[in-house]
Amino acid sequence: MQLIIAEKPSAAAKIAAALGPADQKKQGTVSWYEISDKKIYVASAVGHLFGLTSSKRGYPVFDVEWKPTFETSKSSAFTKKYYSVLAKLAKKCDEFVVATDYDIEGEVIGLNIVRFLCKQKDAQRMKFSTMTKEDLVDAYKNRFKTLDWGQAKAGEMRHTLDWYFGINLSKAAMSAVSKATNRFVKLSIGRVQGPALALLAERELEIKAFKPVPYWQIFADVKLKTGVFEAVHFEDKFWDEKKAKQIFEKVKDKPTTIAKIAKTKQAVLPPFPFDLTSLQIESYRCFKMSPKRTLSAAQELYTSAYISYPRTSSQKLPAKLGFKKIITKLSKNAKYTKTTQEVLRTKLIPNEGKKIDAAHPAIYPTGALVIKLGDDAAKVYDLIVKRFFSVFGEPGERESTKVGLMIEKEPFVMRGIITTKLGWQKWYIPYSNKQELELPQLNIGEVYSEKTRFNADETKPPKRYTPASVIKALEKENLGTKATRANIIEILRDRGYIQGTPIKVTELGLKVVDTFGKYAPTILSKELTRNFEEEMDKIRENKKKPESVLAGAQKIIIKICDDFDKNREKIGKLLGEAFIETQTKKNTICKCLKCGKGDMRVLTSRKTRKRFLACSGYPKCKTCWGMPQKGNFAVLKTMCQCGTPYVNFYIRKGRPWRLCLNPNCEYKEKPEEKENK
């Protein structure tokens, strides 16, 4: 018998259906499949069934081994039933095929199952970029005789490096705080976390250090044939208030003369196909959907066979994908019928970017008929389909008009911009919406009336990172991988290092960066992390052995830990104080509505371990409120009508959940009101 190992239950079902007919079997709640006429079992993992751990205490520790995740983490207890099914089936088989996602993580998942459950040194490998029947059958027929060992070794080394840095340095930090404050504090720092937090902290410090500079502007609202249009003085910003006021008085409400008209045309090239990062950035722009939510939606679309593998860095669409066939399939969806007819009349040559991925092409729709999608998945799917159409389109064209005006010999500028040719943009509506400001027909020498405005303003600090812009910045710095960057941001948020959107670094986050910067700057080094990424690429290409890279990492970690131990008391005190300050701020929701003196703060019951809100004026004031037990939370500036600020709760998947925690709020939606909706 042959055992095909999938990464997730949904993938196992797809593979079995493609190679079947298959009989679904069950062991408890876990399904697996038997294709009896081909003597094949298909079963799945549920992500990683094995993780690195060590029995040794203290730090630094480098003696690690792979153990079942259900043995090392309570939160992974659910993996045991999948482990058991695979172990049981493996005993009945003499041939093994790994059909996990074709990437570094998928290779490690498959490798561990093969060697620890199947007791084999190698296995055959299916490689595919979509979950369509056609691709899965082809991947099975043309399966490789061995695992991708370069990818497997690189993946193992990534896990080992992350454990070395993350566990050892986090232990060092927590030990320092514990001894300085006599309390347990959960802190973490890692190989990618450190530089990522440093990147965010650098921007936060720029904002804090920023000193606004005042400036003045003079605007003229010019009344033209089709409406009132804004012009600004040629100098734009005046840094001398006296000079600005003199000019304003000179031109105030005086007639304006058209002195010069210049028109320029610019081509708007079709976009590149989506890789994961550009999809996450565009999804945030269009829907304000976080990178993590976007990836989750894309993963759902992939496992449903609606799109290709999303965790790709490629901007290439090879012709062998069969563009005509895909577009013809998409035409069966009434929403896209008209567009597909237009796209099919082109030469079907995609506008590709430079980025490549050895394992997968850019993200594209498979053309499979969509049955039903959730809200997030439907939005992301429409975005991917329309982007796919757009890469085959002609360039669009925009025309800019710059009008020079004279008011009492003072130069002003008025601008307009219009789209003169939609090109590919007509297939990307509504996501291609561009600002349009059409000026009427103007002639040099014409005189118009205007109303002048004097405006005082000041320079603004650099913008904070959004969830999308930080993903782009991490990619630019080569920090993390396409698949892990969104998760890194979530980890930093979970640890209390960052908060809100746009992203603000907390006092704890700043203190972590400042402390490590003084006593262990290596862990914040972008160059070090970038170097390890390059080393992993060499291992993947079989140009370098993992052992030498790991030996170098051990030396670095030993040095960092030694530096930590020399300054343990200082480090512990600094981080401990920052942690307490950050937690106090975060856990303070509002002023007590009853006594008006104390603060309503989040506390955790020693008996039940449940969290609740209580007045800091206890025992004089015994006001107490309940709150949700799951999810991180952030107090919003938006106030409920009852006078209590709203609080966002962030569950791992889905949108934030906004609540008013005041149990006596008369503006809350009553249960009977929900039922009547």
Could you say which of 33, 309, 336, 465 is catalytic? 309
Comparing 120-134, 531-545, 647-661, the range with the smallest average pLDDT is 647-661
Q: Work out the average pLDDT over 178-191.
A: 86
CA distances from 364 to 8, 174, 375, 389, 429 (A): 21, 45, 19, 10, 18
CA gap 293, 299 in Å, rounded: 10
pLDDT of residue 654: 63
Per-residue confidence at 36, pLDDT binned at 50, 70, 90?
confident
Q: Is 610 exposed, middle or buried (0-12, 13-18, 19+ CB in 10 A)?
A: exposed
Interval 552-569: pLDDT, tens: 999 999 999 998 888 888
Q: What pLDDT is stored for residue 469 in this prediction?
A: 96
Which SS3 state, helix, strand or coil, does residue 619 take? coil
Q: Which two tokens stand for residue 230?
A: 């804004």
Q: What is the DSSP letter of 347?
A: -
309 is catalytic: yes
pLDDT band at 669 (very low <50, low <70, confident <90, very high): low
- Maximum mean pLDDT: which of 123-127, 504-508, 541-545: 123-127
611-615 and 599-604 strand pairing: antiparallel
Q: How are strands ordered across the β-sheet holding 645-650?
A: 632-639, 645-650, 657-659
> Is it the case that residue 66 has pLDDT exceeding 70?
yes
Contact 111, 134 (CB under 8 A): no
State the pLDDT at residue 564: 87
Q: What's the pLDDT at 653?
A: 60
Statement: residue 675 has pLDDT above 60? no
Structure tokens at 615: 């007045």
Cα atoms in the 13 Å half-sphere on the side-chain side of 228: 7
pLDDT band at residue 672, thresholds of 50, 70 and 90? very low
For the cut 50, the answer to whether the pLDDT of residue 671 exceeds it is no
- Mean pLDDT, the chain, integer: 93
Cα–Cα distance, 276 to 311 (Å, whole number): 6
Q: What is the structure's pLDDT at 590?
A: 92
**DSSP secondary structure string for all residues of 221-287:** EEEETTEEEEEEETT--BS-HHHHHHHHHHHTT--EEEEEEEEEEEEEPPPPPB-HHHHHHHHHHHH
Asked whether 648 and 633 are in contact (CB, 8 A), the reply is yes
Among the ranges given (318-322, 420-424, 593-597), the one the predictor scored with the smallest mean pLDDT: 593-597
Q: What phi and psi values does residue 205 have, to the nearest 5 degrees?
A: -70, -35
Task: Supply the pLDDT for residue 667.
Answer: 82
Tens-place pLDDT, residues 261-298: 999 999 999 999 999 999 999 999 999 999 999 999 99
Above 50 in pLDDT, residue 299?
yes
C-beta of residue 637 within 8 angstroms of C-beta of residue 627? no
pLDDT surpassing 70 at residue 659:
yes
Catalogue all structural domains in the chain, each as residue range(s) with its CATH number: 2-147 (3.40.50.140), 156-209+466-579 (1.10.460.10), 214-255+263-270+396-458 (2.70.20.10), 276-390 (1.10.290.10), 588-676 (no CATH)
Q: 231 near 414, Cβ under 8 Å?
A: yes
Distance from CA of residue 201 to its chain's centroid? 18
Task: Reply yes or no: is the peptide bond before residue 462 cis, omega within 30 of 0.
Answer: no
Residue 677 binned pLDDT confidence (cut-offs 50, 70, 90) = very low
* Mean pLDDT to the nearest integer, 207-216: 97
Specify burial of residue 57 (Cβ count, 10 A radius: 0-12, 13-18, 19+): exposed
Is 0.75 topped by the overall pTM?
Answer: yes
pLDDT 10s digits, 340-367: 999 999 999 999 999 999 899 999 999 9
Q: Is the pLDDT of residue 657 over 60?
A: yes
Structure-token pair, residue 311: 């965790």
In angstroms, rounded to a whole number, what is the distance separating the alpha carbons of residues 569 and 178? 10
Kindly state the tokens that stand for 122.
Answer: 């190698």
Which position has the higher pLDDT, 43 or 570? 43
Q: Say if CB 298 and CB 380 are below 8 A apart.
A: yes
**pLDDT > 70 fraction of the chain, expressed in percent and rounded:** 98
pLDDT band at 513 (very low <50, low <70, confident <90, very high): very high
Whether the pLDDT of residue 502 is over 50: the answer is yes
Position 676 scores a pLDDT of 38
Amino acid type, 100:
T
Give the tens place of pLDDT for each residue, 481-491. Answer: 888 999 999 99
For the chain, percent of residues with pLDDT exceeding 90: 82
Q: What single DSSP character describes residue 437?
A: B
pLDDT at 631: 81
Residue 600 has, within 13 A of its CA and on its CB side, a CA count of 24
